[in-house]
Amino acid sequence: MAGVQFQAPQGSGQITELQSLRGIAAATVMIGHCLISYGPSALLIGLSELLNGRAAVAVFFVLSGYVLTCSLQRGRFDREAVLGFYVRRGFRLYPAIWAASAFGLAYLFALHWQIPPDRAGPLIQQSFRADRFDTLHIVTSIAGMTTFVIPQLWTIFIEIVASLAMPGIAFVALYRRQWFPCVLGVALLASLTIPNTYYHVTLYLIDFVVGAGLAIPGLAMRLFQNAPARLLVSLGLVMLACTRFLPLEYWGAAANLLELAAATLIIGALIGANEKVYLFRSRVLRFLGDISYSLYLLHFVVLCTVVKLFTLLQWASGTSVSIYVLAILATCLTSTITIMLAWLSYVYVEEPGIKLGKRLLRFLGRPRGLGPGMTGTAVP
């Protein structure tokens, strides 16, 4: 690819509100899983559906499309810059996957099959299939290709596939905008006609394309500059909460397109509107955004460990606690432990991984056009 010079637009750097949105989405997935750790219960399932972790995934993917396209706006766009993008992306995603996988394997060897869970919900009962406890599934899970060790790795697999395609999508969005409707149309056609490929990659690829479209210089500002950001963000969040209650196929294109529209409304307003949503600038939400990737990767294994601990405590005391009390306690304890572990992972795994990627690129010779390094990932 011939080098193309591009001047990044003002404001293309990190947007605080997007960091907070990332943290909210990751926390939503975690709490939603905690609420259905026991059951089945119609009440707990209803509360989990109100949080709608599936919609949070759409938010992650649109954010990734936007953030990764912005990262390719800086400097020259050529083969060396694209190679640098792949190196940085790999060092951004994989160290945290490996750390979470080590934690997951420790749980599997020490607890999972040794202690049968007490009244655990279907989500926990159906995870970590014994017939897949072999070298192949462990290795492919650590590589981000399967979900044996970390069940939520299916979204990271989609991230990896989309990352391979992002330089091409970003190039069209930034430098061949007349072709962008064609790319968007192809992604939409794939989503509508072949949604059930491996881990639903074709269903969700359009989310990344729409996110890349939001990074087209000036587009978000033209669409949302004078829009009431707080109203649009609130409307988008309500839409995301309600889509699970519609009679739509769970892995269907209609559900994803509705959640994609709501996610685009929220992210577009946060990017382009003059009005600021100050709640999204709070230090707590920004902190959650910083640790969101590790939070997302670690929370399920922590939850399973907490459920096993509660089982042991009930055996020891000879009591049987209500599943509603257990679900609340599991949510509180899992959230507390996961936040602490995610912070440690962010400081001692994610950030060193990012720095190691930068050192490798300096060792190989800094590619032309490789702008400031990405320090965040949209998926947790």
Q: pLDDT, tens digit, for every residue of 169-219?
A: 999 999 999 999 999 999 999 999 998 999 999 999 999 999 999 999 999
Q: What is the pLDDT of residue 52?
A: 94
How do the domains of the chain map onto residue ranges? 21-364
The answer to whether residue 281 scores a pLDDT higher than 70 is: yes
Q: What is the pLDDT of residue 129?
A: 83
**Pairing, β 5-6 against β 75-76:** antiparallel
pLDDT classification of 366: cutoffs 50, 70, 90: low
pLDDT higher for 93 or 74?
93
Cα–Cα distance for residue pair 293/380, rounded to 1 Å = 3
The answer to whether residue 3 scores a pLDDT higher than 80 is: no
Cα–Cα distance for residue pair 358/372, rounded to 1 Å = 10
Alpha carbon separation from 66 to 88, 92, 124, 228 (Å, rounded): 16, 16, 33, 21
Cα–Cα distance for residue pair 300/34, rounded to 1 Å = 8
pLDDT classification of 130: cutoffs 50, 70, 90: confident
Give the tokens for residue 277: 């949503």
Q: What is the pLDDT of residue 80?
A: 85
Cα–Cα distance for residue pair 106/149, rounded to 1 Å = 10
